[in-house]
Amino acid sequence: MVSLTSEVIGNLKSKLRGTVLTPGDAGYDEARTVWNATIDRRPAMIVRCAGTADVIAAVGFARDNGILLSIRGGAHNIAGSAVCDDGLMIDLSAMRSVRVDPQAKRAYVEPGATLADFDHEAQVFGLATPLGINSTTGVGGLTLGGGFGWISRKFGTSSDNLVAAEIVTADGTWNRVSAEEHPDLFWAIRGGGGNFGVVTLFEFQLHPVGPEIYGGLVIYPLEQGAEVLPKYRDFVASMSDDLTVWAVMRFAPPLPFLPPEVHGKPAIVLASCYVGPVEQGAQAVEPLRHFGTPYGEHLGAMPFTAWQKGFDPLLTPGARNYWKSHNFAELSDDALAVLTRYTSTLPSPHCEIFIGAMAGQTNRVAVDATAYANRDSVYTMNVHGRWTEASDDDKCVAWARELFNAMTPFALGSVYVNFLTGDEGDRVKAAYGPNYARLAAVKSRYDPQNLFRSNQNIAPSA
């Protein structure tokens, strides 16, 4: 590894339109801080790229000088792979342009853009693509790992809706990739994470959604779980692709429509998003109101942009986070009982269990059509350990791991790669299943020295 003298750094700076930060510089600590507060790493250099030319220069510098490289987009990844110790971090957060062509129904998105940036531009035209459930999430990392959100049951994963991209590979080459151009690389980046290069532009297919949808929350006491959760499971099996309903098991938040006396009590939150005709929304979600006796509800027509931000207060940056995840083809009564039992022992007011109802269009795509392989997942569980004090690390991590282990007998064995924490590298093959060997072959072709390894790594097969 080269010694990073002022002369060496100055030479790199001369090739950039963006800036270089080193320890002690103003803005350095802010730039190295990511969403998950358990991640505290110190890169030797941070290159804040202003465009593709800066990305090419930074990739070449890291490659030629044997420096560990990491890539920051939205900095929302649970594993914190955006930032590395003693290496070079490429910071794409300033590259956040979103351009929409409403006639072609296409969006052209830079890698630093967030879901909020995307929705701001696309919803002016009543258009959207499936992207997450939290508006501060980065579009780039979400899509590269597969990506799903409130409208995935109707329109598929984020990567299913990626029609082209521009990417800088390990040799410093710029490539446009699509089904016709470098199709093997295009296949790999649709779910294969950041293993193959730095994507500098994403081109998405857009769909008519909004600007209003119908949805909201119905919140039940946890003690009604034996009644509510089986009814939820049965309802999910019969609902249309226009409707998505996730179950979130947590302490009831202090929402204005809930009586103060239930705030902080264990609860089952049924979160719904209906993207069919708004006037049909009340009828579509009506059964959710009758699974038991709810603590309260808040349902109605609302801007899609508002619903996309609905969980933001529960997912703010700066907290300590540890996740565990499984995929399921079904949720048996025994599995639901496990979820209920662990919700009754939440170790922090911020911990929760997300049950994402998938299926629909996400399951109609062939397993080998994209790198994202979880096409048999009907439910994706995210055990979201979240807390504020380092002194609570052990108990919160232990709770997440114990719940994960208790749910393992019911799971498919696969996992959504974006939900893997930094200590789960042994599950990468499980994330890709039958697609892993092909991904390793593509990795060997485009990154044989594994320059892009600060991620859930796919090792070159050679």
Chain mean pLDDT for the chain: 96
Quick one: 237 and 331 in the same domain?
yes
The predicted-structure confidence for 257-315, as pLDDT tens digits, reads as follows 999 999 999 999 999 999 999 999 999 999 999 999 999 999 999 999 999 999 998 88
Quick one: 367 and 274 in the same domain?
yes
Quick one: 147 and 244 in the same domain?
no
The predicted-structure confidence for 127-172, as pLDDT tens digits, reads as follows 999 999 999 999 999 999 999 999 999 999 999 999 999 999 999 9
pLDDT of residue 2: 62
Quick one: 333 and 410 in the same domain?
yes
Q: Give me the CATH number covering residue 308.
A: 3.40.462.20
Neighbours of 83 (CB within 10 A): 24
The predicted-structure confidence for 231-250, as pLDDT tens digits, reads as follows 999 999 999 999 999 999 99
Q: Give me the CATH number covering residue 29.
A: 3.30.43.10
Quick one: 321 and 403 in the same domain?
yes
Quick one: 29 and 170 in the same domain?
no
Confidence of residue 385 (pLDDT cuts 50, 70, 90): very high
Quick one: 411 and 303 in the same domain?
yes
Q: Give me the CATH number covering residue 142.
A: 3.30.465.10
Share of the chain above pLDDT 70, in %: 99
User: pTM for this structure?
Assistant: 0.96
Distances 278 to 66, 132, 301 between C-alpha atoms, Å: 55, 21, 7
Does pLDDT of 3 surpass 80?
no
Quick one: 349 and 203 in the same domain?
no
The residue out of 37, 56, 91 marking a domain boundary is 91
Confidence of residue 1 (pLDDT cuts 50, 70, 90): low
Quick one: 277 and 185 in the same domain?
no
Mean pLDDT within 78-85: 96
Quick one: 194 and 232 in the same domain?
no
Quick one: 216 and 178 in the same domain?
no
State which residues form the domain around 173.
98-209+434-446
SS3 of the chain: CCCCCHHHHHHHHCCCCCEEECCCCCCHHHHHCCCCCCCCCCCCEEEECCCHHHHHHHHHHHHHHCCCEEEECCCCCCCCCCCCCCCEEEECCCCCCEEEECCCCEEEECCCCEHHHHHHHHHHHCEECCCECCCCCEHHHHHHCCCCECCHHHHCCCHHHEEEEEEECCCCCEEEEECCCCHHHHHHHCCCCCCCCEEEEEEEECEECCCEEEEEEEEEEHHHHHHHHHHHHHHHHHCCCCEEEEEEEEECCCCCCCCHHHCCCEEEEEEEEECCCHHHHHHHHHHHHHCCCCCEEEEEEEEHHHHHCCCHHHCCCCCEEEEEEEEECCCCHHHHHHHHHHHCCCCCCCCEEEEEECCHHHHCCCCCCCCCCCCCCCEEEEEEEEECCHHHHHHHHHHHHHHHHHHHHHCCCCCCHHHCCCCCHHHHHHHHHHHHHHHHHHHHHHCCCCCCCCCCCCCCCC
pLDDT of residue 391: 97
Confidence of residue 4 (pLDDT cuts 50, 70, 90): confident
Domain count, the chain: 3
User: Which of 32-41, 115-124, 305-314 is the least confident region?
Assistant: 305-314
